[in-house]
């Protein structure tokens, strides 16, 4: 019996050691399992784009207002070109039509009512009388048609001129809105001790991106293809695909949950400067890659409906160009020295 008890104790001890050993093996594996990256690490929470939630909200509002006004200004200028061409065409028609009307008026004045009656009475038969009456009726119809024709042309011309005046007034309005939004964006940066003037990033020529499909909505309706399990707006997905088509295919993440910014709205993506993940400060060819990508988005800002671009302690705004911009964290993700951040309207 003692032998059996000793054997049992030894087996129990060995089993305990085995379990403990298994725990030592399993525990580090569980502890080292990292959650999947949803965007640049450290670039989350209230400072979703490297600044306070209030600053990001102000920049988003100002840039969105600026982009909208800029689009309206372009539409207005395009309409102005069409209206000027239309007025010029109508001007060229008014002269000949007025000459025709003047000629008919002169003929009518010269002939008078007596001339008309003389023409009818000079007929030598009933058939001739009816024929001349029909001819005179046709002449009167031509006169009326000429009057209506020039009247219609003049009315159309006047409407085009009124529309042109309204278009020019609208342009003045949009320029004022753009100036106001520019001031708002720069004031928000200044209040956050950011926004000093910054020179452009030197780079080669950027490829042209295809414009976002007309009528594409801004809702988060498309699946995010970067593996976050979230969604993107059609415009964001379009910008992402255009960047890939231009050769910018390194590690990228878009959607994520956070308290502010465009990522949770599906309107932002983080493009790593490194090939495999978000690393430290980009240098050498990695920094060149980031420079080229940032400038690609800037070059195609209108086509891709860009709100702003953040890269290497700077932010590019449609209204103001490059401005200094550093996150409060002071790390590569907050300072955007390891990835290019893109937000679209």
* Model pLDDT for residues 52-66, shown as the tens digit of each residue: 778 888 888 999 899
The more confident residue out of 26 and 8 is 8
Together in a domain, 172 and 207: no
State percent of the chain over pLDDT 70: 71
* Model pLDDT for residues 192-223, shown as the tens digit of each residue: 888 888 776 655 568 999 998 776 667 999 99
Within-domain flag for 109: yes
pLDDT at 23: 41
Region 83-96 average pLDDT: 89
pLDDT at 19: 38
Give the pLDDT band of residue 69 (cuts 50, 70, 90).
very high
pLDDT at 97: 78
Predicted confidence (pLDDT) at residue 30 exceeds the cutoff of 60: no
End-to-end CA distance of the chain: 82
Together in a domain, 114 and 176: yes
Within-domain flag for 45: no
The more confident residue out of 17 and 84 is 84
Domain boundary among 157, 191, 225: 191
Within-domain flag for 30: no
C-alpha distances (whole Å) from 179 to each of 9, 123, 156, 170 are 85, 78, 35, 14
341 by DSSP, 3-state: which?
strand
- Pick from 2, 25, 312, 250: nearest CA to 10: 2
Together in a domain, 339 and 200: yes
The answer to whether the beta carbons of residues 278 and 65 sit under 8 Å apart is no
Together in a domain, 96 and 216: no
The answer to whether the beta carbons of residues 296 and 248 sit under 8 Å apart is yes
* Model pLDDT for residues 128-156, shown as the tens digit of each residue: 555 555 555 556 676 778 788 888 888 99
Domain boundary among 124, 158, 191: 191
Together in a domain, 218 and 167: no
Residue 80: HSE in the Cβ half-sphere, 13 Å Cα cutoff: 14
Together in a domain, 172 and 205: no
Predicted confidence (pLDDT) at residue 301 exceeds the cutoff of 90: yes
Predicted confidence (pLDDT) at residue 2 exceeds the cutoff of 60: no
Region 175-197 average pLDDT: 89
Together in a domain, 249 and 224: yes
Together in a domain, 175 and 258: no
Domain boundary among 152, 169, 191: 191
Predicted confidence (pLDDT) at residue 95 exceeds the cutoff of 80: yes
Predicted confidence (pLDDT) at residue 165 exceeds the cutoff of 90: yes
pLDDT at 154: 87
pLDDT at 6: 44
Within-domain flag for 6: no
Please state the pTM of the whole predicted model.
0.70
Within-domain flag for 63: no
Region 99-114 average pLDDT: 66
Q: Could you give the number of structural domains in the chain?
A: 2
DSSP 46: G
Region 14-18 average pLDDT: 41
Together in a domain, 209 and 323: yes
* CA–CA distance, 38 with 40 (Å, rounded to integer): 7
Average pLDDT, the chain: 80
pLDDT at 261: 87
Together in a domain, 202 and 174: no
Together in a domain, 186 and 201: no
Within-domain flag for 25: no
Predicted confidence (pLDDT) at residue 105 exceeds the cutoff of 90: no
Within-domain flag for 5: no
Question: Domain residues for 135?
Answer: 70-191
Tokens matching residue 113: 């009512």
**Exposed/middle/buried for 28, CB within 10 Å: 0-12, 13-18, 19+?**
exposed
Within-domain flag for 18: no
Together in a domain, 110 and 133: yes
Predicted confidence (pLDDT) at residue 120 exceeds the cutoff of 60: no
- Pick from 341, 311, 338: nearest CA to 326: 311
Predicted confidence (pLDDT) at residue 243 exceeds the cutoff of 90: yes
pLDDT at 338: 96
């Amino acid at each position: 019996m003692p032998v059996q008890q000793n054997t049992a104790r030894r087996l129990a001890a060995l089993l305990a050691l085995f379990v403990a050993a298994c725990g030592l093996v399993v525990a580090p594996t569980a502890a080292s399992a990292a959650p999947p990256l949803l965007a640049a690490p450290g670039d989350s929470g209230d400072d979703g784009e490297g600044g306070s939630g209030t600053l990001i909200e102000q920049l988003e509002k100002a840039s969105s207002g600026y982009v909208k006004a800029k689009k309206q200004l372009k539409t207005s200028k395009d309409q102005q070109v069409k209206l000027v061409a239309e007025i010029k065409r109508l001007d060229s028609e008014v002269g000949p039509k007025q000459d025709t009307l003047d000629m008919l008026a002169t003929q009518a004045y010269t002939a008078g009512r007596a001339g008309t009656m003389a023409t009818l009475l000079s007929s030598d038969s009933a058939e001739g009388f009816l024929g001349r009456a029909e001819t005179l009726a046709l002449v009167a119809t031509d006169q009326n048609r000429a009057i209506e024709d020039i009247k219609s042309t003049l009315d159309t011309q006047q409407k085009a001129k009124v529309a042109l005046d309204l278009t020019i007034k609208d342009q003045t309005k949009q320029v004022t809105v753009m100036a106001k939004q520019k001031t708002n964006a720069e004031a928000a940066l200044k209040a956050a001790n950011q926004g000093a003037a910054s020179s452009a990033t030197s780079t080669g020529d950027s490829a042209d991106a295809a414009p976002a499909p007309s009528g594409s909505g801004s809702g988060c309706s498309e699946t995010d293809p970067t593996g976050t399990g979230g969604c993107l707006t059609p415009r964001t997905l379009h910008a992402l695909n255009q960047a890939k088509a231009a050769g910018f295919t390194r590690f990228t993440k878009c959607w994520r949950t956070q308290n502010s910014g465009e990522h949770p709205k599906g309107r932002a993506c983080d493009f790593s400067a490194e090939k495999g993940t978000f690393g430290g400060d980009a240098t050498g060819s990695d920094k060149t890659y980031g420079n080229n990508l940032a400038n690609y988005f800037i070059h195609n800002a209108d086509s891709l409906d860009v709100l702003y671009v953040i890269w290497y302690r700077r932010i590019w705004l449609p209204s103001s160009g490059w401005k200094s911009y550093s996150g409060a964290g002071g790390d590569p993700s907050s300072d955007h020295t390891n990835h290019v951040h893109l937000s679209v309207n």
